[in-house]
């Protein structure tokens, strides 16, 4: 894809407008990620009844039960204890930079982020299986490769072949891949097979109902602290009839508690997104997180697609700081339906994004939606984000699927996403403003006064709930991680040609005693050495208080 050769912007269709000055900084992409952020592999947490994870049921139960221990093997799971050296055999971890994109290894390592079973799928057929993974894409031809799997119920086992599609970018060794195939009725066990060897992996039942017909999938957040952007997004989404499905790697404690309350109220679903780890290996490998694009953001969004494939009418793949306000209709459902009506062969709607700044309230008690909107200022438009009908896609990428024929993308002229990647502190240094300049002018999107008022009243209502008012007192009032991550991205890859796989793995995130995070953790498993594919995965993800503020 083109974006390797241009200044890095994870857009399949780099068509910036208003970028005539060509300053590299203007091309910078993912600021959203700084705030909104990304990543890591995700694990199925509930094998028994995963299709209806009640928003409330898992809060405390899935909190880290004890300090992490060695993974317990699944039934029939081959765990070669003999070679297990405290998680990793150091001499097998390859670090030579010159080899990262070329070295051929004895096996291709695969990390399974999630797998879904569909008794029936409109697009995938009966008893479909979709496996969402990260695959070593330099060891063999990743495109069009197939994966063998065995699905079983109590009476039958069936060998099947899953065909795959990748959302690879050249600079990263590991590629996000979704493979899909079909298996038995009432599948209760799923195994991956390579050359006669197999390993059982966890899977979840796809969802058949969604809280709302429109789901907004939010890229994984790490060291998340910008609760003002969350409040803006969640109340806008709710007003216009969408449910947010938010991937989280790490988040400051009070913000986590705030989100949990919104989850209890049914506005959002929080999804644990975990780091990828190779529990053990007998063959050499490159570290996965370091060699995967942006914490496998594409994998998180594909997970969301696969999870709601049968349940949602429309799925939007946005960042936390990409806020869409419908222009012509009172709901997203009507707006997207009407937009599709204008081009019935469309495979996605692409909403452009305008950079925005706004002045942040320092405290929840002072948060005013009127004031926030009044402080919004618009700048140039950048390439957008996609909204899809889920049956038309089997995978996606950060902006839109690489696998989609670009001629059937419908570029929506207006409205555009209000990309609030520039929160301005009332007090505090706002150093990012100096490092990364935009020419902000008058706000140039439409939010109707009646909507502003209704959103304001909803915020008042929520803020009046005593537990939320109490959490509000502990939310951070000044930025801490936002400028650190932003500067790291700026140093590493924003606004220039990629020279390495883009991600925040090398960012140094200082830890503070007075600023703690909830971070995901999980049990990690590695299957036996299998050729060509050796599988790794996690299970039983938890929210951990002990992991720290890391991405
Ligand atoms: C195993 O790993 C843990 C955590 O990374 C570390 O604290 C411990 O020292 C390691 N033990 C050995 C024997 O390497
Ligand atoms: C998705 O997978 C199904 C089943 O393999 C296939 O029929 C369909 O064409 C795929 N859709 C896309 C957009 O690749
Ligand atoms: C197991 O799968 C086979 C093949 O799909 C099917 O015929 C059979 O009814 C299934 N058995 C159960 C118990 O679901
Ligand atoms: C899709 O529809 C648009 C407008 O309705 C038309 O211009 C275009 O040729 C169509 N594309 C295909 C591939 O049918
Ligand atoms: C995209 O669709 C158009 C119209 O159907 C077709 O001519 C073109 O070959 C397709 N491009 C690709 C890359 O499949
Ligand atoms: C708002 O955007 C439209 C379309 O991009 C443009 O024509 C108009 O001049 C802009 N208005 C302001 C006040 O910037
Ligand atoms: C919130 O509480 C205040 C005082 O406790 C009350 O005056 C106000 O009407 C409440 N607002 C809503 C929307 O419930
Ligand atoms: C393939 C395999 O090893 N299957 C075994 C899985 O575990 C059950 C019960 O523990 C055995 O009965 C199977 O033979």
Give dist(CA 256, CA 238) in Å, integer.
19
pLDDT of residue 431: 83
Q: For residue 224, what is the DSSP state?
A: B
Of all ligands present, the nearest one to the C-alpha of 277 is 1
Q: For residue 367, what is the DSSP state?
A: -
Mutate to test the pocket of ligand 4, among 341, 344, 345, 405 (most ligand atoms within 8 A of CB): 345
Question: Could you read off the pLDDT of 291-312 as tens digits, one per residue?
Answer: 999 999 999 999 999 999 999 9
pLDDT of residue 30: 35
Give dist(CA 81, CA 130) in Å, integer.
30
17 lines ligand 6 (CB under 6 A): no
157 lines ligand 8 (CB under 6 A): no
Give dist(CA 394, CA 404) in Å, integer.
10
Q: What is the mean pLDDT of the chain?
A: 85
User: pLDDT exceeding 70 applies to what percent of the chain?
Assistant: 83
Q: How confident is the model at residue 90 (pLDDT cuts 50, 70, 90)?
A: low
CB 425 within 8 A of CB 363: no
Q: How far is the CA of 87 from the centre of ligand 1 (A)?
A: 9
Q: How far is the CA of 86 from the centre of ligand 1 (A)?
A: 6
Residue 459 has pLDDT above 60, yes or no: yes
The whole model's pTM is what?
0.84
Nearest CA, atom 3, ligand 8: 76
Looking at the CA of residue 378, tell me the nearest atom of ligand 6: 14
Mutate to test the pocket of ligand 3, among 151, 157, 186, 187 (most ligand atoms within 8 A of CB): 186
Q: How far is the CA of 393 from the centre of ligand 4 (A)?
A: 18
User: pLDDT exceeding 90 applies to what percent of the chain?
Assistant: 74
Looking at the CA of residue 394, tell me the nearest atom of ligand 2: 1
Residues with C-beta less than 6 Å from any ligand 2 atom: 123-124, 180, 392-394
Question: Which of 289, 291, 287, 276 shows the shortest CA–CA distance to 93?
Answer: 287
Of all ligands present, the nearest one to the C-alpha of 152 is 3
Of all ligands present, the nearest one to the C-alpha of 390 is 2
Question: Could you read off the pLDDT of 229-282 as tens digits, one per residue?
Answer: 999 999 999 999 999 999 999 999 999 999 999 999 999 999 999 999 999 899
Mutate to test the pocket of ligand 8, among 76, 78, 152 (most ligand atoms within 8 A of CB): 76
Longest dimension (CA), the chain: 67
Q: Where are the domains of the chain?
A: 35-41+207-480+514-544
Burial class (CB within 10 angstroms; exposed 0-12, middle 13-18, buried 19+) of 123: middle
CB 318 within 8 A of CB 217: yes
Please list, in sequence order, all residues whose beta carbon lies within 8 angstroms of the beta carbon of residue 369, skipping any fewer than 6 positions away. Answer: 232, 235, 452, 455, 456, 459
| Selected residue with higher pLDDT from 374 and 58 | 374
Say how far residue 537 (Cα) sits from the centre of its chain.
17
Lowest mean pLDDT among 62-71, 161-170, 491-500: 62-71
pLDDT of residue 432: 80
Looking at the CA of residue 76, tell me the nearest atom of ligand 8: 6
Q: How far is the CA of 256 from the centre of ligand 2 (A)?
A: 37
Neighbours of 53 (CB within 10 A): 17
457 lines ligand 7 (CB under 6 A): yes
pLDDT of residue 186: 98
pLDDT of residue 38: 30
156 lines ligand 7 (CB under 6 A): no
466 lines ligand 7 (CB under 6 A): no
464 lines ligand 7 (CB under 6 A): yes
Of all ligands present, the nearest one to the C-alpha of 441 is 6
Question: Could you read off the pLDDT of 353-372 as tens digits, one per residue?
Answer: 999 999 999 999 999 999 99
Give dist(CA 460, CA 465) in Å, integer.
9
Question: Which of 400, 396, 397, 395 shows the shortest CA–CA distance to 384?
Answer: 400
Residue 60 has pLDDT above 50, yes or no: no
Q: Which neighbouring-strand residues pair with 284?
A: none
Q: How confident is the model at residue 62 (pLDDT cuts 50, 70, 90)?
A: very low
Nearest CA, atom 9, ligand 2: 123
Question: Could you read off the pLDDT of 105-137 as tens digits, one per residue?
Answer: 999 999 999 999 999 999 999 999 999 999 999
Average pLDDT over residues 401-416: 95
Q: How far is the CA of 24 from the centre of ligand 3 (A)?
A: 58
Tokens representing 329 are: 């209709």
Q: How confident is the model at residue 199 (pLDDT cuts 50, 70, 90)?
A: very high
Give dist(CA 223, CA 519) in Å, integer.
9
């Amino acid at each position: 894809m083109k974006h390797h050769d241009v200044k890095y912007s994870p857009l399949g269709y780099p068509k910036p407008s208003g970028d005539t000055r060509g300053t590299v900084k203007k091309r910078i992409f993912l600021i959203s990620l700084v705030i909104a952020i990304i990543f890591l592999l995700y694990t199925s947490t509930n094998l028994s009844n995963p299709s209806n994870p009640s928003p409330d049921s898992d809060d405390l139960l899935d909190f880290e039960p004890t300090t992490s221990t060695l993974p317990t093997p699944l039934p029939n799971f081959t765990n070669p204890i003999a070679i297990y050296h405290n998680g990793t055999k150091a001499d097998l971890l390859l670090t030579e930079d010159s080899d990262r994109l070329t070295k051929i290894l004895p096996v291709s390592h695969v990390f399974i982020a999630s797998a879904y079973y569909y008794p029936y799928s409109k697009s995938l057929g009966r008893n479909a299986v979709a496996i969402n993974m990260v695959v070593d894409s330099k060891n063999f031809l990743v495109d069009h490769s197939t994966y063998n799997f065995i699905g079983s119920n109590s009476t039958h086992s069936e060998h099947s072949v899953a065909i795959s599609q990748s959302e690879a970018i050249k600079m990263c060794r590991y590629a996000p891949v979704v493979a899909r195939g079909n298996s038995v009725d009432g599948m209760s066990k799923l195994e991956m097979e390579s050359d006669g060897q197999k390993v059982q992996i966890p899977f979840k039942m796809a969802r058949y109902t969604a809280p709302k017909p429109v789901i907004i999938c939010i890229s994984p957040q790490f060291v998340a602290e910008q609760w003002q952007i969350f409040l803006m997004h969640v109340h806008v989404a709710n007003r216009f009839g969408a449910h947010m499905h938010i991937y989280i790697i790490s988040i400051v404690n009070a913000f986590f508690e705030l989100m949990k309350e919104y989850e209890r109220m049914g506005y959002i679903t929080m999804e644990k997104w975990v780091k990828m780890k190779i529990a053990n290996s007998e063959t050499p490998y490159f570290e996965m997180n370091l060699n995967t694009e942006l914490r496998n953001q594409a994998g998180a969004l594909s997970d969301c697609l696969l999870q709601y494939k049968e349940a949602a009418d429309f799925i939007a793949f946005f960042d936390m700081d990409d806020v869409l306000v419908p222009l012509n209709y009172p709901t997203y459902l009507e707006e997207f339906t009407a937009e599709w009506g204008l081009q019935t062969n469309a495979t996605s709607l692409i909403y452009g994004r305008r950079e925005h700044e706004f002045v942040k309230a320092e405290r929840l008690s002072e948060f005013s939606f009127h004031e926030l909107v009044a402080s919004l200022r618009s700048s140039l438009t950048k390439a957008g984000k996609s909204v899809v009908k889920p049956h038309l896609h089997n995978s996606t990428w950060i902006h839109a699927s690489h696998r989609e024929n670009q001629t059937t993308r419908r570029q929506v002229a207006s409205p555009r996403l209000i990309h609030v990647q520039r929160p301005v502190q009332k007090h505090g240094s706002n150093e990012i403003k100096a490092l990364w300049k935009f020419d902000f002018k008058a706000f140039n999107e439409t939010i109707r006064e009646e909507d502003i008022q209704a959103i304001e009243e909803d915020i008042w209502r929520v803020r009046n709930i005593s537990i939320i008012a109490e959490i509000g007192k502990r939310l951070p009032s000044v930025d801490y991680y936002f400028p650190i991550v932003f500067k790291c991205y700026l140093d590493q890859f924003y606004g220039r040609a990629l020279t390495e796989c883009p991600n925040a793995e090398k960012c140094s995130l200082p830890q503070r005693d007075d600023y703690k995070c909830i971070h995901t953790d999980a049990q990690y498993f590695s299957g036996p050495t299998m050729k060509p594919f050796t599988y790794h995965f996690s299970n039983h993800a938890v929210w951990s208080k002990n992991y720290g503020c890391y991405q």
